[in-house]
Amino acid sequence: MFSVAYRMLGSVSEAEDVVQEAFLRMHRAAESGTRADSPEAYATTVTTRLAIDALRSARHRREQYVGPWLPEPLLTSDDDPARRVEETETLSTAFLVVLETLSPVERAVFLLREVFGYGYDEIAAIVERTEANCRQLMTRARKHIEERRPRFEASRDRRDALARAFFAAVRDGDVAALEHLLAEEVVFHGDGGGKTAAVRRPLTGTLQVARFLANLGRTGAQLGVVMEPVTVNGQRGARVSAADGAVLGVLSLTIADGRVVGVHNQINPDKLHHLGPVGDLNALLGSR
């Protein structure tokens, strides 16, 4: 249920709320004598419908969002719901950003078919559409996704080695090393949500991104910031914390063909509370 809700919403807190509400509805249905032929299918149905409603209500907020929108990071090295979510490319930050371009029902149909393997007859019953309509929605969603789908490095060893080298170069503020590790088409996204300093537009190109990351690394070193390697949404990344351990942000990487092709920096404090105490990045930067 969490696996469905999180991929639908890109938010840990909202996904947990949906799952809790779904459990309550299922419990009330059971108390009233309603019996489901397939508890798993029933759970998926209730969760998906609630997630569609939640996503529709969130659309206006996201349209008014300040700067790029990124999902709440899911760290699979922590004791959180991520342990119950399959680590696939469809969980990655980059992929969840692409899913944002779909309508709520398109997103549900695509995920139920592509990720969870439901048949069109089952999907039609879940989203309350005809089977023919679901096939049309899937065709449209798949075309839209394939045009924007991020590439990923197949080799886990290469991902690990490149991520280690990348974060070492960031910590050292080494522009040359970063240039060697970044793809020509690399894109950097930052999400501050208007709450803290973040780039309002994506940065592109090897040199621009390398210089920006090196400056971040040098600034972090001056402030005693710590970067801890973690798995973020199934991909390599780092939790960024202040000297007192408070969370300041989460960096996640998209790696393909032996290079970093995408960097996502989540520093919106509202999207970090599920990871523990959140530090005041603005105050920390102001203390320099």
Task: Give residue 58's pLDDT.
Answer: 85
Give 77's pLDDT tier (boundaries 50, 70, 90): low
Nearest to 264 by CA among 235, 284, 241: 235
Give tens-digit pLDDT for 191-238: 999 999 888 899 999 999 999 999 999 999 999 999 999 999 999 999
| Residue bearing tokens 């569609």 | 52
Task: Give residue 86's pLDDT.
Answer: 59
- Domain holding 269: CATH number? 3.10.450.50
Quickly count: other Cβ atoms within 10 Å of residue 244's Cβ: 9
Nearest to 126 by CA among 114, 112, 142, 116: 112
Split into its structural domains, the chain has a count of 2
Please identify, among 147, 178, 213, the residue that sits at the C-terminal boundary of a domain.
147
Please identify, among 100, 122, 147, the residue that sits at the C-terminal boundary of a domain.
147
Residue 139 and residue 173 in one domain:
no
Q: What DSSP line would sit under 92-159, residue for residue? A: SHHHHHHHTTS-HHHHHHHIIIIIT---HHHHHHHHTS-HHHHHHHHHHHHHHHHHHPPP--S-HHHH
Rounded to 10 degrees, the C-alpha dihedral 40/44/46/48 comes to 180
Task: Give residue 36's pLDDT.
Answer: 62
Angle at 102 between CA 101 and CA 107, to 5 degrees: 135
Residue 185 and residue 231 in one domain:
yes
Q: Which helix (H) or strand (E) holds 193?
A: none
Task: Give residue 138's pLDDT.
Answer: 98
122 is written with which tokens? 């089952």
287 is written with which tokens? 């203390």
Residue 204 contacts residue 266 (beta carbons within 8 Å): no
Residue 139 and residue 160 in one domain:
no
Q: Is 80 exposed, middle or buried (0-12, 13-18, 19+ CB in 10 A)?
A: middle
Quickly count: other Cβ atoms within 10 Å of residue 111's Cβ: 22
Which range (27-41, 159-173, 186-200) has the least confidence?
Answer: 27-41
Angle at 265 between CA 260 and CA 268, to 5 degrees: 170
138 is written with which tokens? 């899937």
Mean pLDDT (the chain) is: 92
Task: Give residue 287's pLDDT.
Answer: 74
Task: Give residue 168's pLDDT.
Answer: 97
Residue 179 and residue 93 in one domain:
no
CA distance 182 to 261: 6
Q: What is the percent of the chain with per-residue pLDDT over 70, rounded to a whole number?
A: 94
Task: Give residue 78's pLDDT.
Answer: 42
Please identify, among 147, 175, 191, the residue that sits at the C-terminal boundary of a domain.
147
The predicted model gives 109-113 an average pLDDT of 97
Where is pLDDT greater, at 97 or 65?
A: 97
Give 35's pLDDT tier (boundaries 50, 70, 90): low
For residue 37, give its domain range: 1-147
The predicted model gives 137-151 an average pLDDT of 94
Q: Does the pLDDT at position 154 exceed 50? A: yes
Which range (49-63, 108-122, 248-262, 271-285) has the least confidence?
Answer: 49-63
CA distance 270 to 192: 9
Give 82's pLDDT tier (boundaries 50, 70, 90): very low
User: What's the pTM?
Assistant: 0.90
Relative to beta strand 226-232, strand 259-266 is unpaired
End-to-end CA distance of the chain: 45
